[in-house]
Structure 1
Amino acid sequence: MFARRPIDHGAAGDTLSSETQMATMTSSPMATPLSSATAAQTSTRKEPPPEKLSDIRRRIWVIVSFWLIVLLLGLPVWWKTTTIHRANLPLKEMLDWADGKACRPVFPLRISIQANSLPEQEAQNLLRLTQHALDDLNDFSGHHLRLQLSSPAAPQKRNDEPDTALTIRLLPGDAVTATLDPYEPVLDITYPPNAAPSATSASSSLATYVAGQLRSTFAEEQAIISYLLSSNSIPTDYRPQSLTPEAAESLAKRTTRSLKYAPTYHLTFSLFTSGPLPSSWDIEAAIQDYLKPVLDLLSPIHNFTIDTQVQLYASPGVQNQVLSKDDLSSFINAAEWPLSPSIGGAPTVNFIVFVGNQTIALSSENARDSAEGGLTTSQSWLIPQWGTVYLLSLPHDTAHVSVDALKQPLLTFTSHLLSLTGTPSSGSLPLRLSTLSRIRSADLLLRASSTLGSLARLALALKSISIPSSVADGVSKTIVHLRQACETLGEAEGLRHARIAEAEAERAFFEKSMVGQLYFPDEHKVAVYLPLLGPVAVPLVMGMLNELKAWRKRKREAAEKGKEKKKD
């Protein structure tokens, strides 16, 4: 139905040639102004529309909200969770105790005088003259003997007042003599009738004699207390006169030999034999007969626990029959002898009985060269701060060590135990034990005060160290008991308070949670927190800086527009 028209190739050729011509004309130099205008329009950046004021305020509030969360919530939480708790300590008062400013140890010893044979006026005058003589002889005001006249109704054997250190009984006799009772703190002084002063006498030889006896009786105690005070931070005007070098050396050896004070000591009695015999001993009965009375006297100062053991086939570290001084240090075979360790935290005092035929040479010469040279020998030696070894010689067929055979070893152990606990060596046993109580009180008081000073200096030097509330409570208890100990120094109550103060001070100083902070310095904190805080802080800081720049730009543009308006 439809007729197909033939294609006119000539017309198509004309159309193609016209398009080519238009392209040629476009690329010709005459078309340059048109192309430059088009390029200028496309290269010009289209400025964004001005930001709305509400959007700017919204962005500012977002940034401010993040910073408020960090400053008002994040930093307080971080500070609270990472800060080191430091309880308040009375540092000034602690240093005063350490420097001897809070308490000056004073030992006012009461001496009771029983002069029932003298009239009241003569006895009072004798008391006054003796007190003056004592004050003239005493160069240490901290150790003061105070005399008091006992009533005629007082007991003749002893004074039952607990605060009386010594009782002097003045008895008529043929000559002036002095005798110290070995079992009671009583000093008996006899005097002829013409030696007693009258009621108006200004001097008396009997008063001078009594003062000299009192000074010699308490000379060792005064020397020990002087040594303790001189080795601590006591004010110079309160210290006694300097001790002689010989006395200071002797007291230093005594201090080195004795054990550190502890409320409880554990006593271990061991029987070591080089063979199968003896295999048993009556140690319980021997302790009950020879050692228990002394332990009862020491019970107000120390508590004691006891255990025993028998070890057969125990060879010593030295096989010589006569031991020299150099052999004593290697005699104990610690590698094979099962010596009991400390039980329950209490220091252990070892008492060893070694059955054998060995002796100890007391000569400075070598005892190995000649066992028949007339050497003086001994059977025991004391090891400082450790115990005693006793060499017991028994027949070879002895299977059981009786109480009688253990008498001398137990008496030696008793004497050495008193030495290890720091008991003075002169005077009667009750007087020595009362002196030991006063010495221990002074020692504990000074040690507790020194510990408080060390804790205060530690808290001042290390600002980042933790101080738990338990440390503050311990310091408070220590100061309370130190005050009470200082007021009752020299009495049994003073020893109890000094013991509690020393224990509380040690517990506060060695608090585990406080010592652990010594190994967590500030540099370590920075190394831990910096990698965590860096990624969080960078966006916040950069956002704040960008907003400040934008605000300054808007402020500058607003200022320029204001100037243009003024010009127009």
Structure 2
Amino acid sequence: MASGASTKEPAAAPAATAVPDPKMPPPEKPADVRRRSYVILSFWLIVLLLGLPIWWMTTTIYRANLPLDGMIDWADGKACRPVFPLQISIQADALQPQEAQHLVRLIQHAIDDLNDFSGHHLRLQLAPKDDRRIVQKDNPELALTVRLKAGEATTASLDPHSAALDITYPSNAIPSPTSTSSPLATYIANELRSTFSEEQSIISYLLSTSSMSSDVRPQSLTPTDLAELDKRMTRSLRYAATYHLTFSLFADGSTPNTWDIEEAVEKYMRPLLDVLSPIHNFTVDTQLQLYATPGVQSQVLHKEDLASFINAAEWPLSPSIGGAPTVNFVIFAGNQTIALGDSESSAETSQSWLIPQWGTVYLLSLPDATSHVSSNILRQPMLTFGGHLLTLLGTPQAGSLPLRLSALTRIRSADLLLRSSSTLGSLARLSRSLPSISIPRTVADGVATSMYHLERACSNLGGLEGLMHARIAEEEAERAFFEKSMVGQLYFPDEHKVAVYLPLLGPVGVPLVLGLIKELKQWSKKRKEKAKEAREKKQQ
């Protein structure tokens, strides 16, 4: 090689750049660690000891204790058997005491053999001869009085003015003291059974259509009887302690413009209202409306026209006042009539018709230019209104008025007893099926009051006292079931609660939970280090 050439040495590789160690934070002082732990602990103590109790007390749904088992027993018919003891007095003045007592025993045996409805217990008692007023005083709610009189043949007839059954018998019909049966006793038993047959059918219908499963054996009703009873019960008004009666006179012109309605009500309606006063109270108002146009203008009204005759859009019909149901009695002064036949040429007509659960309309034909309607003209409309009022109240159709009202008392007692028991059962099942529903103290008080009066009503069935307790029980049960503060909680799903609480618990709960987790990790780490140091010292 040439001497002038120089040899180049390879360049050295650049030295690697040293990575500095990350700067660690200064170690925490033990006081700072304890302070942080105390802060986290204080937050959690506030949440657990103060926040959660306040949240629990302010958001917990109050549920008063209800006697659910007792309510279900009432609904299932286990707490009460709706049985009506009917006291029947036998007046046999022409018989000797021994003969009369023996005849009463035979009649009682015959009734027990014929009775196919366990809801009625007909209990016979012999009326004393000395003073019959004592019997009425001791038994103010006597169902029926049977008056036995000697005659030529065996006959029976109901007194049209009192709750009495008159029976005549021949002298040879009296059973001997040693006889175990008697045609006369069987005849009287059949008449008593026939007298109360309509009432038995209505109560059997109520029992068969109620959800209350009672061991009272109802009568076997034919489909025709069921249809007729269903129509009758649908037509009658729901029971109320007070009804408001509105008497209205509507005229299609300027006359008539005056009427003696107050006198007519006092003369023809007041006696009936006074008789009904132990069962219902009534308030009365009247009104007169001129130039009232009916919904149907034809002179002869047919069955299909009756539904649209009432012009509810223009006629000022009084609504319910003070919570009492209103019964409307409307008199329309015009020349319309109601055709009872199918053809327009039918000569058979009527002047009134009953509207179920509403009232009555009466078509009053007056001479032209009649400006005043006297109480004598209103006699027939008022008598019609009285009969229709009894129908709307659900009064039985057979028998005298006192006997029908006595039966109405028992029918209404059974209806109210069944309805209140069914309501209590529905409330109990609702409470069990919805654990989150609110049950205020007023509901528990209402249930307790209802059950108390149900017990009183069950022990006094058949009289006015039992009807009064059954009415109070039904009112309290309805008020408890439809409590406003309880019904408002029926449709409050759990998803809605989550949607309300999640936006609040998220921002508050995440820092608390993460801080607690970090603190627990630090505590666990320190514990492991202390355990390691302890093992090393032990090994040395």
TM-score between the two structures when normalised by the length of structure 2: 0.94
Check conservation: 1:380, 1:389, Cα contact below 8 A.
yes
- CA distance in structure 2 between the aligned counterparts of 1:316 and 1:32, rounded to whole angstroms: 117
- CA distance in structure 2 between the aligned counterparts of 1:166 and 1:496, rounded to whole angstroms: 21
**1:357 is paired with a residue of what secondary structure?**
coil
- Residue of structure 1 equivalent to 2:3: none
- CA-based RMSD of the aligned residues comes to 1.9
Please report how far the alpha carbon of residue 74 of structure 1 lies from its aligned counterpart in structure 2 after TM superposition.
0.6
Per-residue displacement from partner, 1:258-296 (whole Å, max 9, x unpaired)? Answer: 001111111111111111111111111111111111101
Aligned counterparts, 1:22-421, within 5 A? 40=18, 43-155=20-132, 159-160=136-137, 161-235=139-213, 237-363=215-341, 365-367=342-344, 373-421=345-393
Q: What letter corresponds to residue 516 of structure 1 in structure 2?
A: G
Q: What letter corresponds to residue 509 of structure 2 in structure 1?
A: A
- Residue of structure 1 equivalent to 2:469: 497
- CA distance in structure 1 between the aligned counterparts of 2:165 and 2:204, rounded to whole angstroms: 24
Check conservation: 2:327, 2:359, Cα contact below 8 A.
yes
- CA distance in structure 2 between the aligned counterparts of 1:90 and 1:555, rounded to whole angstroms: 56
- Residue of structure 1 equivalent to 2:521: 549
Please report how far the alpha carbon of residue 217 of structure 1 lies from its aligned counterpart in structure 2 after TM superposition.
0.7
Please report how far the alpha carbon of residue 157 of structure 1 lies from its aligned counterpart in structure 2 after TM superposition.
12
Check conservation: 2:244, 2:327, Cα contact below 8 A.
yes
Per-residue displacement from partner, 1:110-164 (whole Å, max 9, x unpaired)? Answer: 0000111111111111001101111111111121111011111233898442131
- CA distance in structure 2 between the aligned counterparts of 1:234 and 1:148, rounded to whole angstroms: 33
Please report how far the alpha carbon of residue 31 of structure 1 lies from its aligned counterpart in structure 2 after TM superposition.
13
Q: What letter corresponds to residue 109 of structure 2 in structure 1?
A: H
Bigger CA radius of gyration:
1
Cα distance, 1:541–1:157 mapped onto 2, change above 3 Å: closer
- Residue of structure 2 equivalent to 1:533: 505
Identity %: 69
- CA distance in structure 2 between the aligned counterparts of 1:83 and 1:176, rounded to whole angstroms: 75
Instruction: Verify: 1:429 aligned to 2:406, yes or no.
Output: no
Per-residue displacement from partner, 1:59-115 (whole Å, max 9, x unpaired)? Answer: 222212211111111100100011111100001111111111111101010000011
- CA distance in structure 2 between the aligned counterparts of 1:159 and 1:205, rounded to whole angstroms: 29
Which sits farther off after the overlay, 326-335 or 554-563? 554-563
Check conservation: 2:212, 2:422, Cα contact below 8 A.
no
Please report how far the alpha carbon of residue 30 of structure 1 lies from its aligned counterpart in structure 2 after TM superposition.
9.6
Instruction: Verify: 1:452 aligned to 2:430, yes or no.
Output: no
Structure 2 segments unaligned to the other structure (5+ residues): 1-10
Check conservation: 1:317, 1:333, Cα contact below 8 A.
yes
Check conservation: 2:235, 2:356, Cα contact below 8 A.
yes
**1:260 is paired with a residue of what secondary structure?**
coil
**1:262 is paired with a residue of what secondary structure?**
coil
Check conservation: 1:159, 1:167, Cα contact below 8 A.
no
Please report how far the alpha carbon of residue 377 of structure 1 lies from its aligned counterpart in structure 2 after TM superposition.
0.7
Please report how far the alpha carbon of residue 567 of structure 1 lies from its aligned counterpart in structure 2 after TM superposition.
5.3
Per-residue displacement from partner, 1:11-51 (whole Å, max 9, x unpaired)? Answer: xxxxxxxxxxxxxxxxxx99988xx7xx75x8134545543
Cα distance, 1:168–1:53 mapped onto 2, change above 3 Å: same
Check conservation: 2:457, 2:469, Cα contact below 8 A.
yes
- CA distance in structure 2 between the aligned counterparts of 1:567 and 1:155, rounded to whole angstroms: 117
Q: How many residues are aligned here? A: 529
- CA distance in structure 1 between the aligned counterparts of 2:87 and 2:105, rounded to whole angstroms: 14
- CA distance in structure 2 between the aligned counterparts of 1:163 and 1:236, rounded to whole angstroms: 25
- CA distance in structure 1 between the aligned counterparts of 2:346 and 2:35, rounded to whole angstroms: 110
- CA distance in structure 2 between the aligned counterparts of 1:452 and 1:303, rounded to whole angstroms: 27
**2:146 is paired with a residue of what secondary structure?**
strand
- CA distance in structure 1 between the aligned counterparts of 2:57 and 2:215, rounded to whole angstroms: 49
Please report how far the alpha carbon of residue 253 of structure 1 lies from its aligned counterpart in structure 2 after TM superposition.
0.5
- Residue of structure 2 equivalent to 1:483: 455
Runs of 4+ residues over 6 Å off in structure 1? 29-33
**1:139 is paired with a residue of what secondary structure?**
coil
- CA distance in structure 1 between the aligned counterparts of 2:212 and 2:508, rounded to whole angstroms: 57
**2:347 is paired with a residue of what secondary structure?**
coil
- CA distance in structure 1 between the aligned counterparts of 2:21 and 2:224, rounded to whole angstroms: 107
Per-residue displacement from partner, 1:448-492 (whole Å, max 9, x unpaired)? Answer: 111111111111111111111011000000000000000000011
**1:100 is paired with a residue of what secondary structure?**
coil
Structure 1 segments unaligned to the other structure (5+ residues): 1-28, 368-372
- Residue of structure 2 equivalent to 1:516: 488
- CA distance in structure 2 between the aligned counterparts of 1:393 and 1:458, rounded to whole angstroms: 56
Please report how far the alpha carbon of residue 233 of structure 1 lies from its aligned counterpart in structure 2 after TM superposition.
3.3
Check conservation: 1:110, 1:166, Cα contact below 8 A.
yes
**2:245 is paired with a residue of what secondary structure?**
strand
- CA distance in structure 2 between the aligned counterparts of 1:439 and 1:240, rounded to whole angstroms: 14
Check conservation: 2:78, 2:214, Cα contact below 8 A.
no
